[in-house]
């Protein structure tokens, strides 16, 4: 199948999953995970209806921004972000999904302050205690969320998680449900009127329908849109 056909099929499935969950189809946005993709592939996806692109690596983000490949779509940063690279990301993207430490949060705030803007962010939660992955443990979420609510250069918009790779359909429902509970909990506790905590980023090619059933507002889908990726050195 071609990229435009894949985009149409995934958008239809996203709408269907939302309807089956009794949710409005507009409540869920498809974020195309564009890592390793060419400018041309990204342009095709946007022409076919993708409205948000999610990039993992700073180098690829910068290259696609320079070439104008994202024209017509929002850009999100969804990969692991190193503190020394915030300059290339803050102010260049609409939303950073992967904030997972106080150090990174403060670095984003400082850079946003320099630029005189407020950066929308999500906090990434490590739900399964996987060493190999980023994200804060659920216990550490509340203090970080409170800090985010206090810093003038960041606007906390919600939560993100990357659960373990599922072996069977339905495997990750429990993680999605857990992230949704944390989301509701944080929304109730962080009462900064600046913040509009409305984003729940969860679900990938193999499990986005389950994530939508559990309340996802952003699903990050790569393979189902672009086909299998060539192996790369690092996931992030």
Ligand X SMILES: *Cc1c(COP(=O)(O)O)cnc(C)c1O
Distance between CA atoms of residues 71 and 50, nearest Å: 11
Please give the span between the terminal C-alpha atoms of the chain, in angstroms, as a whole number. 26
Residue number with the smallest Cβ distance to ligand X = 222
User: In the bound complex, what is the minimum distance in angstroms from residue 162's beta carbon to ligand X?
Assistant: 5
Q: Which residues contact 174 (CB under 8 A, 6 or more apart)?
A: none
Round to whole Å and give the CA distance between 225 and 233. Answer: 21
> Cβ closer to ligand X: 53 or 156?
53
Q: Give the shortest CB-119-to-ligand X separation in angstroms.
A: 18
CB of 236 to ligand X, least distance (A): 7
Nearer to ligand X, 30 or 145 (CB): 30
In whole angstroms, the minimum distance from the beta carbon of 114 to ligand X comes to: 27
SS3 of 31, please? strand
Q: For binding to ligand X (CB under 6 A), which residues are involved?
A: 33, 35, 56, 78-79, 162, 204-205, 220-224
76 or 155: whose CB is closer to ligand X?
Answer: 76
Instruction: Select 186 or 219, whichever has its Cβ closest to ligand X.
Output: 219
The residue (of 149 and 222) whose beta carbon lies closer to ligand X is 222
Least Å distance, CB 203 to ligand X, is: 8
CB of 98 to ligand X, least distance (A): 7
- Residue keyed to tokens 């709408």: 15
74/110 with CB nearer ligand X: 74
Long-range contacts of 24-32 (CB under 8 A, 24+ apart): 27/217, 28/212, 28/216, 28/217, 28/218, 28/219, 29/217, 29/218, 29/219, 30/219, 30/221, 31/76, 31/78, 31/201, 31/218, 31/219, 31/220, 31/221, 32/7, 32/73, 32/221, 32/222, 32/225, 32/226
- By beta-carbon proximity to ligand X, the closer residue of 151 and 161 is 161
Find where tokens 């999953």 sit. 17
Cα dist from 123 to 115, 132, 145, 172, 180, whole Å: 22, 17, 8, 19, 13
Min separation Cβ 185 and ligand X, Å: 23
């Amino acid at each position: 199948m071609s990229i435009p056909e894949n985009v149409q099929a995934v958008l239809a499935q996203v709408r269907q999953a939302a309807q089956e969950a009794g949710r409005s189809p507009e409540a869920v946005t498809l974020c195309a995970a564009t890592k390793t993709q060419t400018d041309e592939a990204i342009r095709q996806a946007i022409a076919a209806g993708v409205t948000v692109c999610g990039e993992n690596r700073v180098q690829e983000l910068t290259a696609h921004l320079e070439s104008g490949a994202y024209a017509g779509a929002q850009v999100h940063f969804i990969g692991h972000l190193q503190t020394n690279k915030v300059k290339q990301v803050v102010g260049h993207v609409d939303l950073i999904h992967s904030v997972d430490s106080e150090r990174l949060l403060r670095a984003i705030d400082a850079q946003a302050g320099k630029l005189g803007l407020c950066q929308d962010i999500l906090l990434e939660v490590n739900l399964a205690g996987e060493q190999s992955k980023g994200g804060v443990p659920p216990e550490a979420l509340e203090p970080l969320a409170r800090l985010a609510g206090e810093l003038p250069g960041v606007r906390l918009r919600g939560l993100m998680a990357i659960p373990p790779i599922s072996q069977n359909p339905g495997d990750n429902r429990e993680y999605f449900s857990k992230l949704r509970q944390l989301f509701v909990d944080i929304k109730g506790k962080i009462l900064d009127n600046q913040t509009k905590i409305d984003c729940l980023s969860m679900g990938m090619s193999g499990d986005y329908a389950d994530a939508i059933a559990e309340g996802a507002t952003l699903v990050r889908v790569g393979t189902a849109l672009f086909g299998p990726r060539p192996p790369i050195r690092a996931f992030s």
